Amino acid sequence: MYLSNLGAALQTRFERVGEMTDLDDAITTSQEAVAVAVAPPRIRAGAARGWGRSAAAGGRWEQATAGFTAAIDLLSPLIPRSLARTDQEGLLAELGSLGADAAACALRAGQPARAVELFEQGRGVLLGQALDTRTDLTALAARHPELAGRFTDLCAQLDQPTPAAGPVAVDTAGAASAIPAANLTDGERERRRRAADALEATIGRIRGLPGFEDFLRPPRLADLLPAATAGPIILVIVSEFGSSALILTADGLLDPVDLPALTPAAVYEQTVAFLTALASPHTPDNRQQLTDTLGWLWDNLAGPVLDRLGITGRPPPAPRESSRRRGPAPPDRARPLCGGRRTRAGCGCGGVSPGCWRSCRSTPPATTTPGTTRPR
């Protein structure tokens, strides 16, 4: 805990003073905290996240990627049911941007495939904590219950909090090597060390089983691409280190789409405004807010992604099976994602031109109701 806090303090001083030695010390101190095997994984993961943030603050993107990767790896074995409700909520608040931050740094380091894998791994950790579900552990418990129980017990032992630590002593050079992680007795330290070694050995045994070779490992890009056979998959990364869209197709990964307006603060502001308006959507002001939010999403997310995919025209009309149709209007008559108020630059057709499917219409789109004939 002390090493982690010292690393955060050094980063703060770097941000205020700009002294590069503070940045170097912040990264080194955080790395030392991560290496304390007897500390709880959550403490070590927090230090790894600090390592990533410090490196990113200095534009050291490969180091930042390594730090965030270590944080995700340390959090992957955590068992949600072993945490109190307040601890779960706090952990989720910290985890919310971890995968996106890791992916953003990987992109800046020129590693787009790694960005996809880290984003998916971080998302899996987040969902596992939020829903208390782990597909890899569920499969292990079904086929090898004793080994799954061993893994769960060891994770719970390591995640127990350490005793309260004593005062911190920092020398004039800011060195952190002499600062203990916590006031552990020799017996407690040895017990945790044995548990850490046993957990590593248990994970090795699990990965030696048929079908569990990738247990706790991040998904590989090659394993994700088959999911895009039915159509492109868009991964939207929103991070303080840069926002982008990653597009997976059956043929591979396209070049990232930069989304500079999708900052975390802007997304939060738009989300709050949209949900507030959605609570009472029939007032004129709230209807306008909903339309404005859809327009903002179109300009800053959907439009750039569709441009990269080369989708610039109206989709073909759905086959007409009969002159009478029940249910909602078919796709070619549906209101565009832009909320009905965006026009293509220089077009001015008001949504009439067949080649301008993304533009707004000056009149509401035709719809059908059950038992009526669609207007021709």
Query: Tokens 């159509």 label which residue?
Result: 231
Residue 137's pLDDT band, with cuts at 50, 70 and 90, is: confident
The pTM assigned to this predicted structure is 0.71
Q: What is the mean pLDDT of the chain?
A: 77
How far is residue 164's CA from residue 46's CA, in Å, rounded to a whole number?
Answer: 17
Least confident of 34-48, 150-164, 188-202: 150-164
C-alpha closest to that of 262 among 298, 234, 301: 301
Residue 109's pLDDT band, with cuts at 50, 70 and 90, is: very high
How large is the average pLDDT for residues 332-355?
A: 45
* 221 close to 113: Cβ distance less than 8 angstroms: yes
Residue 366's pLDDT band, with cuts at 50, 70 and 90, is: very low
How far is residue 259's CA from residue 25's CA, in Å, rounded to a whole number?
Answer: 33
Query: Tokens 């998302």 label which residue?
Result: 123
- The type of residue at 278 is L
- The kind and range of the H/E element at 235 are strand 233-237
For the chain, what's the residue count?
376
Listed by start position, the domains of the chain span 2-207
* 120 close to 103: Cβ distance less than 8 angstroms: no
- pLDDT at position 87: 62
Least confident of 63-67, 155-159, 209-213, 230-234: 155-159
Long-range interactions of 81-88: CB distance < 8 A, separation 24+: 81/132, 82/155, 82/156, 82/159, 83/159, 88/129
- 149 CB-near residues (< 8 Å, 6+ apart): 141
How large is the average pLDDT for residues 93-99?
A: 77
How large is the average pLDDT for residues 304-317?
A: 83
The 3-class SS string of 122-168 reads HHHHHHHHHHCCCHHHHHHHHHCHHHHHHHHHHHHHHCCCCCCCCCC
What's the Cα-to-Cα distance from 308 to each of 14, 108, 246, rounded to whole Å?
Answer: 39, 19, 10
- pLDDT at position 287: 93
What residues form DSSP beta bridges with 244?
A: 237, 258
- 35 CB-near residues (< 8 Å, 6+ apart): none
